[in-house]
Amino acid sequence: MAGQAQYEELARQLSAVGAVKRDLGRILPPDCSAGSAGVLALLGRHGDMRMSALSELLAVDMSVTSRHAAHLADRGWIERSPDPADKRSRILHLTPEGHAMLVELSRRSTELLAERLDDWTDAEVGRLIALLTRLRASFGDCRTVTHRPTAAPVPPPPVPVSEQTPTTRTPAQAT
């Protein structure tokens, strides 16, 4: 099992992954935010789905999901259709333009990764993929795990009166 220092370094390295995500965000088209790209990717991977399912996958409030869906629908990348099973709900699905945008997003991210990792061997890239896949599996579906607060620190036992350091304050100074 890894030691405390290794876990601390791993935490620092995972925090630094934000720089990679920011670079990936910079290559997005101006009218496609990272959130929009995430919605397109989920619809591309999972197919048509209800807004509530998308909200759960994104691990965000329905109002956020609704804004993403409206943004994507305004650009013609998704369509919102009534759910035949529940007319109050909407089913989201990619349009041909949405599929084309998803292909473009994939091309851009693949090119950036190929550029930044051009000095890596195929084996190193494969090992990174395997390790990241294993890391994700170790955490399971983070969106459905409730946060478990750490146990409150146990206060030290009270010091017996006989071992306490006497004070030299007068009652007026103690206030």
How open is the CA angle 24-26-31, to the nearest 5 degrees? 110
How far out from the chain centre does Cα 38 lie? 10
Residue 132 reports pLDDT greater than 60: yes
Q: How many beta carbons lie within 10 A of that of residue 15, not counting itself?
A: 9
Residue 145 reports pLDDT greater than 50: no
This prediction has a pTM of 0.71
Residue 151 reports pLDDT greater than 90: no
- What whole-number distance in Å separates Cα of residue 143 and Cα of residue 101? 26
Residue 141 reports pLDDT greater than 70: no
- Per-residue pLDDT at 1: 75
Spell out the alpha helix ranges (H) of the chain: 4-26, 34-46, 51-58, 62-74, 96-116, 122-139
